Amino acid sequence: MAKTRKIMIFDTTLRDGEQSPGCSMNLAEKLEVARMLQAMKVDVIEAGFAIASPGDFEAVQAVAGEITDCTVASLSRCLEKDIEASGAAIKPARRPRIHVFCATSEIHRKHKLRRARKEIVKLSVDGVKMAKEFVDDVEFSPEDASRTEWDFLVEVVTAVIEAGATTVNIPDTVGYAMPAEFGDLIRHLRANVPNMDQAVISVHCHNDLGMAVANSLAAVRAGAGQVECTVNGIGERAGNASMEEIVMAIHTRGDFLNVTTGIETRKIYPASRLVSSVTGLNVQRNKAVVGENAFAHEAGVHQHGMMAHRETYEIMRPEDIGVPSSKLVLGKHSGRHAFKQRTESLGYMLKGEQIDAAFEKFKRLADKKKEVFDRDIEALIDEQIEQVVEVWTLRGVQTTAGSNTVPTATVTLARADELMTDAAIGDGPVDAVYEAIQRISGTRMRLLDYSLRAITSGKDAQGEVTIEVEYDGRRFRTRGVSTDIVEASARAFVAAVNRAVTLDLANGQKPAQP
């Protein structure tokens, strides 16, 4: 029997995934996801496209600085400034990789790059050589490989391996390939690239025709050693190959594929929840592996079969992908350990001080509510993650209100060291405060929900304000706590403004990527 090969999992949730509409993540959220990917034991984390924006650069650098167990990659075009940015951003990484790409298909050569075949080869070789000056681990992608003439692809791949590329990634950039055809392409490269044994073949498939996973697995069968994918399959247009589907297909059908991965499958469900929560992109109910219905057996005949013998209708066990086995609620007597475990099963990877702060809040909440449900914990922690980025801070709030006066608010906010004050009137003191905050920050949001509740009883009780706002088509909830309910309202709204501002920063125009 042939030896079982280990397939490397290259996760690009933070780069290709983050690029998809509505999936922008702030720095704190990207770090959360990176920690989860490390816990899952992915082999490579593509942390971003360093040249794309200062935010991307900072994110790659932060991930490179913190992640120790995975290779950390940054994407670059074959341009000096791109490669320099990637080189600088991944410098702190224990295992840094630069991923360079250059389009090779005729349609891209003619209409995008306006270059002849020879020039494309030179550009690619020079890019790999430049990257080699920063790191040993260099990956090259001929963008739109699946629509590139096979003979030319052989020429490019041979040249970049000679220049030092250690991984050659074959992207189906536009999701055009068919599984049998894509497998044949990988076999063709293995048979015709003379130095192919000196580099790992990787694949990167898009899901425009719903075949990203099928194409990736066909490539694996044909000899590919690395698969690029994203959690929940997020990514440009219809997305990328979904990591959980790739991993569980290999896990379940290793007998047929004769390969394995190093992935900790029990982190799959928590990772899916985390990515869904930080991107706001819900997982469809009938999504393979991680959808809400993936393990639900409604049909009576199936239920009967399941009770008699699970494997009658179940090819994977929910516990293998980390679906929490109990719906137990937590209460005031739940300890720190139980709380931490629950947050992990909900997809959060909080560090020491974050856990302490969240646990404090949980205790306060548990004092008030007899039962604390998963949704309560999620709201609690989402505030925690979101508070890390404080563009605006509340410095002062003063209101006048009463039965015979027009409610007026004066608010002072700080951005960096700059203080700004403005006043506004409203239907009530809180409305006036919100108007003043919007005037200062220049951020317009629609308030959808406002609720106030006391956290403890007695005259020193703290008020907790929860609001739901809509900004740029996205809805989110934030909270504020204070002994003064007007101040608690202001804090909740400032948190919402910070959330909106972070989204704007992350949404800058980025160059096209494979």
Q: Footprint of Zn ion on this chain (CB under 5 A)? A: 16
The closest residue (CB) to Zn ion is 16
Smallest distance, Å, CB 262 to Zn ion? 23
For Zn ion, which is the closer residue by CB, 13 or 354?
A: 13
Paired residues of 412 in beta bridges: 396, 421
Give the list of residues 6+ apart from residue 125 with CB closer than 8 angstroms, or none.
159, 160, 162, 163
Smallest distance, Å, CB 240 to Zn ion? 6
Smallest distance, Å, CB 131 to Zn ion? 19
Alpha carbon separation from 187 to 143, 149, 337, 352 (Å, rounded): 19, 15, 50, 48
DSSP secondary structure string for all residues of 149-209: -HHHHHHHHHHHHHHT-SEEEEEETTS---HHHHHHHHHHHHHH-TTGGGSEEEEEEB-TT
How far, in Å, CA of 487 to CA of 437, rounded?
12
Smallest distance, Å, CB 280 to Zn ion? 21
For Zn ion, which is the closer residue by CB, 229 or 467?
A: 229
Burial (CB < 10 A; 0-12, 13-18, 19+), residue 300, is exposed
Smallest distance, Å, CB 142 to Zn ion? 13
Smallest distance, Å, CB 205 to Zn ion? 8
Cβ atoms within 10 A of the Cβ of 197, count?
8
For Zn ion, which is the closer residue by CB, 246 or 377?
A: 246
For Zn ion, which is the closer residue by CB, 16 or 139?
A: 16
Smallest distance, Å, CB 135 to Zn ion? 21
Query: Beta strands 446-454 and 463-471: pairing type?
Result: antiparallel
How far, in Å, CA of 393 to CA of 411, rounded?
11
For Zn ion, which is the closer residue by CB, 147 or 479?
A: 147
For Zn ion, which is the closer residue by CB, 38 or 240?
A: 240
**Nearest alpha carbon to residue 65 among 23, 99, 30, 19:** 30
For Zn ion, which is the closer residue by CB, 234 or 486?
A: 234
For Zn ion, which is the closer residue by CB, 143 or 155?
A: 143
Smallest distance, Å, CB 483 to Zn ion? 50
Smallest distance, Å, CB 451 to Zn ion? 41
Alpha carbon separation from 330 to 193, 366, 370, 371 (Å, rounded): 59, 8, 9, 6
For Zn ion, which is the closer residue by CB, 32 or 228?
A: 228
The answer to whether 391 touches 501, Cβ cutoff 8 Å, is yes
Cβ atoms within 10 A of the Cβ of 299, count?
10
Cβ atoms within 10 A of the Cβ of 112, count?
13
